[in-house]
Structure 1
Amino acid sequence: MKLWHVNTTARGGGVAEILDALCGYTQPVSPLAHCRFVTSQSAEVFAATKRIHHRLHGVDRGDLPDEREHAVFLAFAEENASRLLQRLTARDVVLLHDPQTLPLAPILAEAGVPVAWRCHIGTSAINAVADETWQYLSQFWPRGITLIFSHQSLVPAQAAGHRVEIVPPSIDPTAAKNRPMSTAEISDVLASAGLIGPRSAPEQHRHELISEGRLDSDPVILQVSRWDPLKDMEGVLRAFADSALHRSAQLVLCGPSPQSVADDPEAKSVLEGVIGRWRSLPTAIRRRAHLMCTALDDSEGNARIVNALQRWATVVTQRSVQEGFGLTVTEAMLKARPVVATRVGGIPSQITHNETGLLLNGSAGDGQFSKAVACLLTDKVRASTLGRAAAAHATQHFTTTREASDHWRIFAPSVHGNEERID
């Protein structure tokens, strides 16, 4: 009994990490084996689906695929469905992830394969842009498909009449990015990356540090995100520089190197924008803000740096404009870090304001953001209380064990009811 997860990249972003954990999962929560199929790469498809990504968040950064792009999309689906069908057996089920893979659904369904689609992105504030995009995507939902969303508020009206399941994403507490680290190990990792310690040259590795100073003993504000406009890394830097935060704390913005994320064509320009703002800062402020780009082809090194940074941080932020779920919030919570995040997407399902973190309305300006962060920097008792509650909540609700159980609950009937489908 196999559940085949289909996505477009082997590394980069939360979906890839979720699948790493599920496909390596060995505990006997269910007899369902998780397997992975990574599609071929297509710059043209990824450019079109990046626009779809923004539009599902209600942000108009380009049109829906035109006739030519739609044809490319369909050809991409045909090619990958053909390759996948050669690997399936009679008892297998396929779970497609995000818009890039969705056009495979009708092809697989026509071949008699039980198919589901999981959308990790979206917004509860549906506007005309998002609604039009859901209309476009719903043409690929065959009869009998199971639709899976991270939170009930992200289910669009077009899903009416289809089977809908809610499965919050998860993280693996035993993975290199989340496992416990000693104080000495944290220091060693950050020193090798050039973030702390003497001003000698950091160890040679593929990760890039853009910095003119060291973290030293100051409190640290951290955001870990893709270099994506919806994550608002530049806004975090702006708020830090324009407020009193830079006088009492330092800032680290950490994201994957754009070269490491094949399906995100905007990452390079977003990072360049952040670097440009960083370079424009006065020297005294610039020395207290640090940009870290991790290389995902060094998966162990990337995981260790992110883990060490999250455990070193005093306050973690997630100032997303829109967010499907926000696994970097989950990671920080698991590590008992107090989090300041925007009330968008699936983040409120993780953070209860003033109980497991602090939530800001999406319209909150730089002043409100800076005030919330400063509150946790100065009130250590409150920060510690929120962090402990966050760790308990994340451990109970957002681990791989729970997600593996969810998949068995959803897909067991498909497995048992499909013994004679294909050879």
Structure 2
Amino acid sequence: MLTHIPISPLPPERFREVLGPEYAEVEEAIIRARSLLAGRAIWHINSTAVGGGVAELLHSLLAYARGAGVDVRWSVMAGEARFFEVTKRLHNQLHGLDGGEGGLDSSELAVYRDVADRNAEELAELVRPGDVVYLHDPQTAGLVERMVEAGAIVIWRCHIGGDHPNETMRGAWSLLRPLIEPAHSYVFSRTEYIWEGLDSRKAAVITPSIDAFSPKNEDLPPATVTAILDRIGLTPTNGEPAVFRRLDGTVARVDRRARIEQDGTLPPNVPVLTQVSRWDGLKDPVGVLRGFVEYGGSDEAHLLLVGPVADGVSDDPEGAAVFQAVREARLRLDARARARVHLVSLPMDDIDENAAMVNAIQRRSTVIAQKSLAEGFGLTATEAMWKSRPVVAGAVGGLKEQVVDGLTGRLVDPTDLEAFGRAAG
């Protein structure tokens, strides 16, 4: 059932050049962690190893923890398609959106509990008393009680939430709260996401972060950006090798091509608006397309809507349907507008290669969009700013804590397509 993800150690020392004298605090923390966690395994459990922010965070952070001498481990839950349909609904409800479907019925709850129980029993065979178990997001809530029984220190980590609690959110809380209450601690990404009715003494806030040294964020020379875009099929090929550096520091090459729906390749030197996200209704890619076409100010600008191949993210059953909706919206455009819209689906076979593709696309962009209707945190905004690109983002969730309106970008009402289009154009 569980899939165990290999973790190669990375040296935390590489952050010395970024942090300067403040790196001394990191060194002190490493020494304390080695002493406190000696003999313990630190487990992280989530629902996918590829696609989405949680998986990306774990790939980097666990590698640095292992490089610091801590025994960190990462396992991914397994479940049938029906389980992920149920947990996707819970995910949306924790953002305050129910899609008109209401709460879960008894058969759906039975599916959730069955998958959770099977994964929990398998994990309990591996966990030892005193180990620390981090359980990420609603998919894992059903494992909390069994891990506590196994003698582990259990931390439930919630990466999602909404700015203003409504009845949909409260309904999801009521369902999940009894499952997570036995945990020793709860960690949320924002203070606003801490649930009503939880013991506030057990709650903490830790904001997510990007890895400046990952293939997604490392500096890329313009020639490398061009070579990668050529290789994936977004621009005309010139045959140059698309070389990048993997997370572990080794040199690699982009070989795979993207699946791209476009009438022609991206012209050189034109302004480019890009949104990179899952094919998820909460990211509103159809709204991005409409705002760009109907209210964007430049007839020369091009739009790149970029995401994983629709079947490449195991815990997101809505991806294919959302991508098809975007595809149909693009096909309905007149020929001139359609020629300026590119749908880019990136392969997920090699996560470092995928990250290098995203890096090149972001660096080719003039403006980065993240027009989410709801957003847990949305680190694409920080990725863009790390690359000195302005951001136009929905004024929701963690995006409000990253973008300084009028300075590093614009925050807009994500339901106002005209405001978005004019800000992005």
The interval holding the TM-score normalised by the smaller chain is: 0.7 to 0.9
Match in the other structure for 1:269: 321
Other structure's SS at 2:180 match: coil
Other structure's SS at 1:5 match: strand
Q: Any conservation in 2 of the 1:109–1:142 contact (CA below 8 Å)?
A: no
1:370 equivalenced with 2:424 (yes/no): no
1:109 equivalenced with 2:148 (yes/no): yes
Match in the other structure for 2:86: 48
Match in the other structure for 2:367: 315
- The Cα RMSD (Å) is 2.0
Match in the other structure for 1:296: 348
Q: Deviations over 1:73-95 (max 9, x none)?
A: 22212211122122223431000
1:145 equivalenced with 2:184 (yes/no): yes
- Alpha-carbon distance in structure 2 between the residues aligned to 1:152 and 1:244: 35
Amino acid in the other structure paired with 1:320: S
Normalised to the residue count of structure 1, the TM-score between the two structures is 0.83
Other structure's SS at 1:368 match: helix
1:255 counterpart (298, 307, 311): 307
What pairs up with 1:153-302 in 2 under 5 angstroms? 153-161=192-200, 163-197=202-236, 205=256, 207-215=258-266, 216-302=268-354
Amino acid in the other structure paired with 1:208: R
Q: Unaligned stretches of 5+ in structure 1?
A: 375-423
Q: Deviation of residue 3 (structure 1)?
A: 1.8
Q: Any conservation in 2 of the 1:23–1:33 contact (CA below 8 Å)?
A: no
**Cα 1:298–1:206 shift into 2, 3 Å:** farther
Q: Any conservation in 1 of the 2:271–2:300 contact (CA below 8 Å)?
A: yes
Q: Any conservation in 1 of the 2:128–2:152 contact (CA below 8 Å)?
A: no
- Alpha-carbon distance in structure 1 between the residues aligned to 2:296 and 2:204: 45
- Alpha-carbon distance in structure 1 between the residues aligned to 2:226 and 2:414: 35
- Alpha-carbon distance in structure 2 between the residues aligned to 1:144 and 1:197: 53
Amino acid in the other structure paired with 1:56: L
Match in the other structure for 1:118: 157
Other structure's SS at 2:311 match: helix
- Alpha-carbon distance in structure 2 between the residues aligned to 1:59 and 1:164: 24
Q: Any conservation in 2 of the 1:48–1:64 contact (CA below 8 Å)?
A: no
Match in the other structure for 1:13: 52
Paired residues in the alignment total: 371
Q: Deviation of residue 37 (structure 1)?
A: 1.1
Deviates more, 1:55-64 or 1:10-19: 55-64
Q: Deviation of residue 199 (structure 1)?
A: 10
Q: Deviation of residue 63 (structure 1)?
A: 3.0
Amino acid in the other structure paired with 1:367: E
Q: Unaligned stretches of 5+ in structure 2?
A: 1-36, 243-253
1:68 equivalenced with 2:94 (yes/no): no
Q: Any conservation in 1 of the 2:144–2:182 contact (CA below 8 Å)?
A: no
Q: Any conservation in 2 of the 1:207–1:292 contact (CA below 8 Å)?
A: yes
Q: Deviation of residue 226 (structure 1)?
A: 0.6
- Alpha-carbon distance in structure 2 between the residues aligned to 1:93 and 1:310: 37
Amino acid in the other structure paired with 1:96: L
Q: Deviation of residue 42 (structure 1)?
A: 2.1
Normalised to the residue count of structure 2, the TM-score between the two structures is 0.83
Other structure's SS at 1:44 match: helix
Match in the other structure for 2:250: none
Q: Deviations over 1:55-78 (max 9, x none)?
A: 111111223332222222222122
- Alpha-carbon distance in structure 1 between the residues aligned to 2:273 and 2:106: 46
**Cα 1:39–1:263 shift into 2, 3 Å:** same
**Cα 1:127–1:264 shift into 2, 3 Å:** same
Q: Any conservation in 1 of the 2:233–2:258 contact (CA below 8 Å)?
A: no
Other structure's SS at 2:155 match: strand
- Alpha-carbon distance in structure 2 between the residues aligned to 1:110 and 1:86: 12
